[in-house]
Amino acid sequence: MPIDSTESLLHSLRGSKLFAPTALEALAAEFATLGPDPEAWMKKLVEDGRLTAYQLRKIVNGRAVDLFLGPYVILDKLGEGGMGKVFRARHERQKREVALKVVRDQLLSKPTARGRYEREVQAALALHHENIVLVRSAGSTDGRYYLEMEFVDGLDITRIVQKYGVLAVTEACEYARQAALGLHHAHELGFVHRDIKPSNIMVSGSRHIPEAAEPAFVKILDMGLVRSIGDEESERGLTRDGTVVGTPDYMAPEQAKNSRIVDRRADLYSLGAAFYFMLTGKPPFPEGTALDKIICHVDRPPPPLNATRSDIPRELIRIVDRLMAKNPDRRYETALELAEELKPLTRFGKANPVEKSVEPPRSKAKSEAETRADEPPTEAEAEELLPVAIDWCDHLWTVAGIVIVALFAMLIFTLVMRVAHR
- Measure CA 294 to chain center: 21
Q: How far apart are the C-alpha atoms of 91 and 148, rounded to whole Å?
A: 9
Q: What is the DSSP string of 311-345?
A: ---HHHHHHHHHHT-SSGGGS-S-HHHHHHHHGGG
Cβ contact 89:97 at 8 Å: yes
Kind of pairing between the strands at 96-103 and 144-150:
antiparallel
Measure the CA angle with vertex 372, ends 369 and 376; round to 5°: 155
**Cβ count near 47 (within 10 Å):** 9
Please pick, among 4, 153, 195, 311, the residue that the annotation labels catalytic: 195
DSSP character for 132? B
| 3-class DSSP string for 134-170 | CEEEEEEECCEEEEEEECCCEEEHHHHHHHHCCCCHH
Cβ(219)–Cβ(182) below 8 Å: yes
Active site residue 267: no
Taking the CA of residue 109 as centre, how many other CA atoms within 13 Å lie in the half-sphere pointing to its CB?
Answer: 7
Contact 189, 167 (CB under 8 A): no
The set of catalytic residues is: 195
